[in-house]
Structure formats: structure tokens, C-alpha cells
Structure 1
């Protein structure tokens, strides 16, 4: 075995997108999956669970075997024999209907450490419900629902997986507290003593309620970064104590629902320090919601992003302009460490028929570039993705895009933006054929990775040069809905060595995440990125 002693540049870089011929490609996967993909989550068996809401009336997909949902509290249809959730199989490009009973509209979710999707809250009879979906190898798994499990109604709340494997559920409409799953303070039913007051949520509520779906990110020190309206705090949830107040975002523009900007925790690089940086993009001026619903007047959305190095002693928001204004955009971490901003509109705000001028062009943002070289406009989709659309990263590096139901019901005709039941895949430039020889292929990696423990990944690549940048990362796929990607995070693992096994075949030694604060236990997608070109991801369990 020939060992290569390489000086590895560990910065996260990728080919200059401005020099690429490719600006990505779009592919329609299905014209009609029967429901509008309002909520999405990639599961560890490479299937995607999607759902919308039960109170829109009948969907375009029947439940199998003559099953029907009987719900006397439903405000539209008490007996419904159609599905409002589907399970999509990436490998076969097929889907099957699932049975959800209670209303999931504007709910939240997290994947537990065993790979089970925990889904919380919603509207009407669903606002205190906990639902679980555990991936299985056949077609027998379905939703399991636990009515009245939550201590408070959780409509527009946010979930975050914690270092100990619990999930914290924060806020909701006119709810100014948080609670945990599983319950920690009481097994009394209902658990009336299990909520924890957070005055910050009350303080950030305005006349348009621009503090819904607060942005929440777990920081490497174990505290939570929480952003609502224009303000942010660091919360020690163990002591129920706000440990830091960050400066308000520059410009005083609200960023949370219904002003609906989006947020991402930029990659945590274990080759460097334990820095943590948050970026928030887009949003709507205060008053945009009122203007839309009262005058049908659509105010131009915000065209800037703000970055905050939250681990600085005295952090300051740094502003930069996007190529276009955007409301209701989704921000996703790509395996390269770049950020994709996709979906949304240029005018208006979130809500039923409250936006206009769809933004169909994705933007890729390269956070490590010089400021004038960070934004790159990609190829447009032919389909508007407005209110109630969603996007997630897939195992192979594509981005799955679906949804758009900007109306009170399923409206397919006689409206400017019809309800969309289609699924598309967007392939970023790194999937271009011109990079096939530079794309690494993972041959072997441990399926279980311990904290701070070394492990080896074997990969091959046709065209390898010692000076090329190589790094390994893990990504926790997001639960995406309403322009918020809950639990999304990327950790660049610490590299120890690289050795050549044979022609085109290499071993790279890396260390597991340093702590549960950096990467909570559970299933992650692992990628090898060579010269800015990622492999397909493989599932590893961090424990």
C-alpha cells in the first residue's frame, strides 16, 4: 500500500459555478401523486414521506382496500376515502398512499435516533397529536397516531432533535412555551405541568404574528439558537434560561412566517474550531400580510441575506444582496457545503393567494467565496412553487421539489396558480456529466460510527490529483415545510489520513463527530467530496 502524505486544503470549496456550462437540470418525476407535498422528510430506507392536510376535502388519491377516514370534527369532510399522505420510493420512482386521520396542516417533525419520524401537532383535531412513522422493508408500515399527547396546541411550531435524543417542540400560534418528546416532567395525562414558558416568543409576536415557525438550530455548545420576527437568542433549555441576546437583524424586517424567509446553520467544520454561523435569507416587509389580505396588494419581498457568527463574543449581522427578492424560499445544504435557495415568490407574503410573481430560478450560494462571488443563478423550473411547496435533499445529491397549494381547497382550474400535485427533481451542476471522472464512489464505510472514534472510508475515483480538495461530511436530512428545514445540519468530519490502495482506489481515515452537541445521535447521509464533486450519500448511524 502506498501512503500519500498530502497537504489537504480543508476549506469547503467547489468548482467555480460562474465558469460552469451547466446551471443544473430539471426532471418531472410525476405529474400527479394525488396530494400536494406540503411536508417532506427523507427516511433512512431512501423513501420520502409526504403529506398535506386533511381539511381540504378529497384528494386525487384513493385509500386502498376501501379504507376511509371517519372524523366527526373535520370542518370540511367527515368521511373521506382519499389519502392525504404518500410514501415515495426514490429507487422505483413510485409511491403508495398512507392513512393519516387527524389534521396535519402546518405541523412539525423530527427524525428520532432510531430512524422513526416523529411528527407533531397541526390544526383543529390534530393540534395536540403526536404521530410516528417507522420505515419498514415492505408495504405494511403506516402512521401511528397518539391523540392529545402534547400538552399544548402546536400549530406552526418548530421541532429540534437534542443531544440526548429527545425532541423539543417550540412555540406555535399564540403559544409561548415549549415541551419535550418524550415527556420529561410528568406522566400525568394530559401532562399539564410539562410545558416551559419562553417569554421571548411573546415578546416577538406582532400584529401579523411574524414569530410563527421560529428558526431553531442546535449549537455546538449544546444551547439552542432561536430566531423569531427580527430577534434571536441563545437558550439553555436544560435550565430554561436565555443565556444570550443577539442583536436584532439589520433593517428590522421580519423573517418568520408569514413573512417567511428561511434559515440555515452553515456547515460545522471539525477540522477547524467549533464555530457556528447562521444565515437567514428573504422575508417580507412588515405590513405585507395585511396589504395582501385587505387590499390584494403585493409588496416586493426582501432581497437580502444576513449572516451571524453566533459563537463570536460580540456577533454582528453581516448583510449581502441576493440576485432577486424572495419570499417562501427553501434553503437546503448541498453536499458541497453550498446552500441552495429554491421555490417561492417575489411579491407578497405567505398564506392563501397572498403572493405573486413566482421565483422559479434556484440560486446556489457558496459561503466560502469572496462576497461578490457567492450567488449563482441556476436553471429555472417551468412550474411555480408557491405557498405550501417544499424541497429536500436526496441521497444521490438531487433535490426533490413538490407541492404548491396556495388556496383554501384543492383548486386546479380558474385560479392564477393552480394546486400542484407534481414532483420534480432538480440536479445541481455537480451532477453534470462533465464531472463524471472526478466524482468519487464510496465502496465501503462503517455503517455505525462512534463519537470521537476513527473509521475508514474506501472510495474510488477515475481522475484524482493530490492537490485536489477532499473532505468528508455527514448531513442530517431536514423535515421541510413552509420554508423551514427543521433539524438540517452538516458536519465536516476531521480527516486523519488518506492512502492509495490501488489505481484509483483510496482509503480516507476520519474521526466520528466530537460530541452529541455537534451531531445528535441518529442516521446521517455521509458524502465524500472530491474537487467540489460529491459522491452519492450512504447512510451511517451516529451513536
Structure 2
């Protein structure tokens, strides 16, 4: 990256493949976001009792471009060993943060940050309410079917240590609720009627999704996304990806009931076979996800 600072262990940043737009008539672009890390020499300095501040920079790069270039941005908060989670509404949650190495955790980052990749540079980051639990080395975060994010872990020690240390081993779990789960948004939240959960679908298949919205709907602000369930270790979520399958073109079925037609990804290059969570998103507010099996 242009600033020359390391982003890999032990100066661990986090990285994510930004949402892939699988829309008819549009070429698919793959873009990667890398955030945080620590300056050169941080680990060696920590071994001598000197703790350097984490990095505040992020870099984005379109890896499908013939000559890809980094675009740099600045986070509101510096972070090392953070976790990135793709949310159903295409935003990225950046959460947790501490040392990448035993016994060196200092100044945990308690405030998550939401990154909205489709906004203009300078308006993409939004700081969220803080947790009271430090989440440092060996923390984890994963998206749940109802849109919450399950957060757990933190053990910056070579063994479990519950006392006599600055940051004890942490066994509590907590759920982070993104702003789209605010009670005031209930009437705008879609509910998927069909297909049924665990439906099997094929590649390049036209499918119709029927859903309900009890409040006033804006049919131009409806999208369908599918999210691969990931597994997390050391600030990286393996297999994580989100695909946008369709947007707009919503038709009325009945009272508060609508349908939208979308096309599934064309091959396993975009969506490896397996289970995904399918969401209908209305005005950035996602439904509960349903499991689908693509093969």
C-alpha cells in the first residue's frame, strides 16, 4: 500500500471483499478494502515496553481493473486486529481491536465503525455506540440470520488468565445491533414469504421472492442480497462475500405484499456452492435472512 506500513501479522489490519453487484447488463467489479494495522517496528517496540499507536488508514483497490490503483482513506479511529463484517445492506462493520501478539494489548478500541462503500469519500465512516468489553487478540464477530452481529472472545495471553493481568481472558458474548434494527424501523422491515428457507437453487436461475412490508414502501429502494456465512480467526473472515442479486422492479401482489425477480450468480466463480443467507433490503433495512443452497 502507498504508505508503506505493514498490514499483516503481527501488525494485523483487516480486509474484506466489498459487495459484488450481480446485476444484469453490468460488468462485475471486485474491490478489496484493507483497514488498520500498525507501523513498522511496532512488535519489536512492544517487546521493549514501548507501544506505538495503530494505523488509521484504509486502502481500496479494484482488483479487476487492468491497472489497479490504491485509493486511501482515513478512519475516525485507529485500529489494529479489528474484524470486518459484511452487513446485509452492503455496509461494512469494523469492530473489535487490540494487539496482535500475546501480552501486548493496550488501549482497546471500544467503538465499532460502520463503513458505507457506496457513499462519497469523506462521508463513508460512522462511529457507533461503544461496548464496555475490550475485544483484543483472539476476538471474533459473525453475522447472524436476524441481522445482529455476534461478538465474542479476547485473550491476549498464551493461556487463559482471569486475574492479575491488565486485560483478563474474556468469555462473555454480546450482540451488536446495527441501526437498521432500531424499533422505529419495524414497519419498513421486509418479511420474506417465499421461497421457503433451505430452498435449493441453481446458477443463473431466475427466481421470484415474495415479501411483506407493513409500512409505506419505496419500491425503488428494494434490493436482494445473499451473504456467505463466514468463519473468523485473527481478524479475517474466511469465505466472506456478499452479492447483490437485484434492485428495484418490485411488483404489487396484494395488501402489503410484493414480489421481486432476481437472477442468481452465473457460476461458482462468483458464489461457490453451498449455503447462503438471502435478504430483502428496503431503504437499507434488511429482512431476517433465509437459508438458500446454491449448487
Given that 1:496 and 1:511 are in contact with CA atoms closer than 8 Å, whether structure 2 keeps it comes out as no
Superposed, which structure 2 residues align to 1:201-350 within 5 Å?
Answer: 249-271=1-23, 272-293=26-47, 295-345=48-98, 349-350=99-100
Is 1:363 the counterpart of 2:117? The answer is no
Given that 1:306 and 1:319 are in contact with CA atoms closer than 8 Å, whether structure 2 keeps it comes out as yes
Cα distance in 1 for partners of 2:292, 2:182 equals 26
Q: Find the residue that maps to 1:291 and give its secondary structure.
A: helix
* Displacement of 1:467: 5.0
Instruction: Name the SS for the 2:209 alignment partner.
Output: strand
Output one character per residue of 1:27-76: Cα deviation in whole Å (capped at 9) or x when no partner. Answer: xxxxxxxxxxxxxxxxxxxxxxxxxxxxxxxxxxxxxxxxxxxxxxxxxx
RMSD of aligned alpha carbons: 1.2
Q: Which runs of 5+ in 2 are unaligned?
A: none
Structure 2 residue aligned with 1:383: 133
- SS at 2:45 equivalent: helix
Q: 2:35·2:59 contact (CA, 8 Å) conserved in 1?
A: yes
Specify which of 215, 219, 233 is matched with residue 481 of structure 1: 233
Aligned partner of 1:426 in structure 2 is 176
Alignment of 1:69-108 (within 5 A): none
Question: In structure 1, what is the Cα distance between the partners aligned to 2:92 and 2:19?
Answer: 10
* Aligned 8 A contact 2:13 2:34 in 1: yes
In structure 2, the residue corresponding to 1:275 is in which secondary structure?
coil
Partners of 1:496 and 1:510 within 8 A in 2: no
Q: Tell me what 1:448 maps to.
A: 200
How far did 1:470 drift? 0.7
Cα separation, partners in 2 of 1:435 and 1:468, compared to 1, 3 Å: farther
Distance 1:261 1:358 in 2: 14
* Distance in structure 1 (CA, Å) of the matches to 2:114 and 2:257: 31
Q: What pairs with 1:140-219 in structure 2 (closer than 5 Å)?
A: none
Mapped to 1, the partners of 2:285 and 2:220 lie a distance apart of 11
Q: 1:352 — aligned with what?
A: 102
- C-alpha distance in structure 2 between counterparts of 1:281 and 1:297, whole Å: 23
Contact 2:85–2:92 under 8 Å retained in 1: yes
CA distance in 1, matches of 2:79, 2:108: 9
TM-score, L = length of structure 1: 0.53
- Cα distance per residue 1:143-201 (max 9 Å; x no partner): xxxxxxxxxxxxxxxxxxxxxxxxxxxxxxxxxxxxxxxxxxxxxxxxxxxxxxxxxxx
Q: Tell which deviates more after alignment, 420-429 or 438-447.
A: 438-447
Q: Deviations over 1:468-522 (max 9, x none)?
A: 4111011001110110111100011145843211110011111111211110100
By how many angstroms is 1:353 displaced? 1.4
Runs ≥4 in structure 1, deviation > 6 angstroms? none
Count of residue pairs the alignment pairs up: 291
1:521 aligns with 2:273: yes
Alpha-carbon separation, structure 1, partners of 2:284 and 2:218: 14
Alpha-carbon separation, structure 2, partners of 1:352 and 1:380 = 24
Runs of at least 5 residues in structure 1 that lack an aligned partner in the other structure: 1-248
In the aligned structure 2, how far is the partner of 1:467 from the partner of 1:528? Answer: 12
Partner Cα separation in structure 2 for residue 396 and residue 387 of structure 1: 27
**Does the aligned pair in 2 maintain the 1:495–1:509 contact within 8 Å?**
no
Q: CA deviation at 1:444?
A: 1.2
Which structure has the greater CA radius of gyration?
A: 1
State the Cα distance separating 1:314 from its structure 2 match.
1.1
Query: Secondary structure in 2 aligned to 1:434?
Result: helix
